[in-house]
Amino acid sequence: MIITIVVAALALIGGLTAHWVLRRRLEETETPSLTIRDFVLPLQTLTVFVLAFVLVTASTSNGKADEAARKEAGVVDHIFEVADYAPASQRQRLQGDVVCYARAVRAYEWPAMADGRGAQQPSTWTTDFRAALKQMGTEASAFNMLVSADKERSEARQTRIAESTPAIPSAVYWLTLAALAFLVVALALCLPRKNVLLVTGGLIVLTALLTTVLLVIRDVERPFSGAIQISPTAINGVTGDITDDYTTAYGNGRLPCTDKGVKKND
């Protein structure tokens, strides 16, 4: 970073010094001077390039978060089904942990991700799930499948939480906003004297469009908050399905948690 700043600064100083030294010769040869219009095109290119880069980065992060949320829901459903092959002494506990984990994710971790963080409540059930696996022992036929599936669930959850934080550093966002502001000012300074109303209207529309793109980027880079957010549709569907399956197998009121995934008092 330091090298880049030094090189750019030296280039600017060198150019200005050369211009001052050769100014008289340049005037004698009638070399055309730069105007504001000469800076508009490269500024336009830079602004559009930065906007495109930031938009792609934010969209990629949003897509990863959505994929992780869907994958986690699918794995949770798979774990519940595989737990059917666990020994009877651990089966109900394992499946109860899975249902309560899904409820805790929906009730606590989803709202927490709006602030770019996870929640502790789901971890209560993953800890108990692993404890039940240890009691089950490696000799059980479903042990390896459950361990593998739980690993996939953990990875999907970590990805989901990681992608809940803004993908674009604040410095990049403010740089993009500054470039947009300078572009609008430069274009306004280049407005013609004729047909000024028509061109001014075009500038207003362009400013509105670029501003909208920047606002969309700001919203998309926060996948679990804002107007464009990932809804918990997948985990909601799975929670309902496995809750019904658990109730059918073990009866009403047998879950070790509340509707929000909070552990019941024994």
Ordered DSSP codes for 141-201? TTHHHHHHHHHHHHHHHHHHHHTTS-SS-HHHHHHHHHHHHHHHHHHHHT--SSSHHHHHH
Indicate whether 21 pLDDT > 70: no
Residue 138, SS3? Answer: coil
pLDDT of residue 136: 86
Residue 205: band (very low, low, confident or very high) from pLDDT cuts 50, 70, 90: confident
- Among 79, 159, 86, 70, which Cα is nearest to 126's? 79
Whether 214 and 51 have beta carbons less than 8 Å apart is answered as yes
Indicate whether 153 pLDDT > 60: yes
Neighbours of 53 (CB within 10 A): 13
Give residues with Cβ within 8 angstroms of 181, minimum separation 6.
none
Indicate whether 90 pLDDT > 60: yes
pLDDT of residue 170: 80
pLDDT of residue 266: 54
pLDDT of residue 221: 81
225 token code pair: 């908050």
Indicate whether 98 pLDDT > 90: yes
How far apart, in whole angstroms, are the C-alpha atoms of residue 42 and residue 40?
6
- First-to-last C-alpha distance (Å) of the chain: 59
Residue with tokens 């993908």: 167
Indicate whether 70 pLDDT > 60: yes
Look up residue 112 and give its DSSP letter: H
- Among 179, 97, 173, 182, which Cα is nearest to 132's? 97
For range 144-158, the mean pLDDT: 93
Q: Answer with the residue of higher pLDDT: 204 or 69.
A: 69
pLDDT of residue 181: 84
Indicate whether 63 pLDDT > 80: yes
pLDDT of residue 219: 81
How far apart, in whole angstroms, are the C-alpha atoms of residue 264 and residue 266?
6
Residue 260, SS3? Answer: coil
pLDDT of residue 80: 94
How far apart, in whole angstroms, are the C-alpha atoms of residue 57 and residue 11?
31
pLDDT of residue 7: 58
What residues form DSSP beta bridges with 257? 263
224 token code pair: 């679990």
Give residues with Cβ within 8 angstroms of 176, minimum separation 6.
47, 50, 51, 54, 214, 217
pLDDT of residue 81: 93
Whether 111 and 123 have beta carbons less than 8 Å apart is answered as no
Name which of 6-10, 124-128, 159-163, 165-169 the model is least confident about.
6-10
165 token code pair: 């934080």
Q: Answer with the residue of higher pLDDT: 50 or 69.
A: 69
Highest mean pLDDT among 11-25, 49-63, 141-155: 141-155
Is residue 178 left, alpha or beta, with left meaning phi > 0 and alpha meaning psi from -120 to 50?
alpha
Indicate whether 36 pLDDT > 70: no
Name which of 28-37, 131-140, 154-163 the model is least confident about.
28-37
Please tell me whether the overall predicted TM-score, pTM, comes out greater than 0.85 for this model.
no
How far apart, in whole angstroms, are the C-alpha atoms of residue 130 and residue 174?
45
- Backbone φ and ψ of 74, nearest 5°: -65, -40
Whether 219 and 226 have beta carbons less than 8 Å apart is answered as yes
Residue 104: band (very low, low, confident or very high) from pLDDT cuts 50, 70, 90: very high
